[in-house]
Amino acid sequence: MATRVFSDEELEGLRSFPAIGRDELIRYFTLTPADEAFLRKFRRSQNVLGAAVQLSALPWLGFVPDDVPTAPPAAVGRLTRQLGLVAGDLAGYGAREQTRTDHLKEIADYLGWKQPKAIEHKELDEFLLARAMEHDSPSLLFRLGCEYLRSAKVIRPGVVTLLEKVASARTAAEQKTHARVAHLLTGERTRGLDNLLVVDPALRPTRLHWLATGPVQASPTSVGGEVEKLVFLRGLEAHSLDLSALPAERRRHLA
């Protein structure tokens, strides 16, 4: 499953409020006069404070966790001091999901953020594919996807949805890689590559393991062994392979 990239505990953390540092606290939980005027229209103290948390959390995280009252106490405290409220006003906010989502829609409009629709999903898929041609790590691709969405002011979709997009991008990158080098894979060359995975009685391990194992010390014997590998690779015409159609990071990954 796509979600197996992260443990259950990590998945829960990706859906929740993380710990907050001092710089983030000041940067994201400082309200402008315009922000306060916008928030006051929610009237009830509970809604004003709940909306304030959402207003601050969206630019900070790129999404707003469902359980708004679990926001870091330091963040809630900073907002209450600015709004003249008390932390207890946040209790129970979001119990009615529709209220929370309606508020988030208004907040997103105010901040210039948008929910991902067809065009945003397509652009995210294209971004992830481009990054997957350079990096194969699913956790890195997930993080890059989150950063891209924040920079585009698009609210992050659910964790599983984004992980599924990462998995699709990795599969597409493999297919695209194969398509770009397929013309190099002649019958003879393919057989030579397949034989790298066969245990060689003279070496004990496979040829691939032999090639990937470096010398353990500097000696004439070690130098001779490395020269032997070079001769073997030239026999496969590895030196004539033109992989320039692939990004440098993809070539490193394949290596």
Q: Are residues 19 and 69 in the same domain?
A: yes
Q: Are residues 91 and 178 in the same domain?
A: no
pLDDT value at residue 60 = 97
Please state which of the ranges 102-106, 113-117, 179-183 shows the lowest mean pLDDT. 179-183
Q: Are residues 145 and 162 in the same domain?
A: yes
**C-alpha of 104 from chain center:** 24
Q: Are residues 197 and 161 in the same domain?
A: no
Averaged pLDDT score across all residues of the chain: 90
Q: Are residues 31 and 67 in the same domain?
A: yes
Q: Are residues 20 and 102 in the same domain?
A: yes
Average pLDDT score over residue span 202-213:
83
Question: pTM of the predicted model, to two decimals?
Answer: 0.80
- At residue 3 the predicted structure's pLDDT band, cuts being 50, 70 and 90, is low
Q: Shortest CA distance to 107 belongs to which of 165, 34, 178?
A: 34
Of 155, 182, 209, the position where a domain reaches its end is 182
Number of domains in the chain: 3
The answer to whether residues 72 and 17 touch, using CB atoms and an 8 Å cutoff, is yes
Q: Are residues 250 and 153 in the same domain?
A: no
Q: Are residues 131 and 171 in the same domain?
A: yes
- Domain of residue 99, residue span: 2-111
Q: Are residues 122 and 60 in the same domain?
A: no
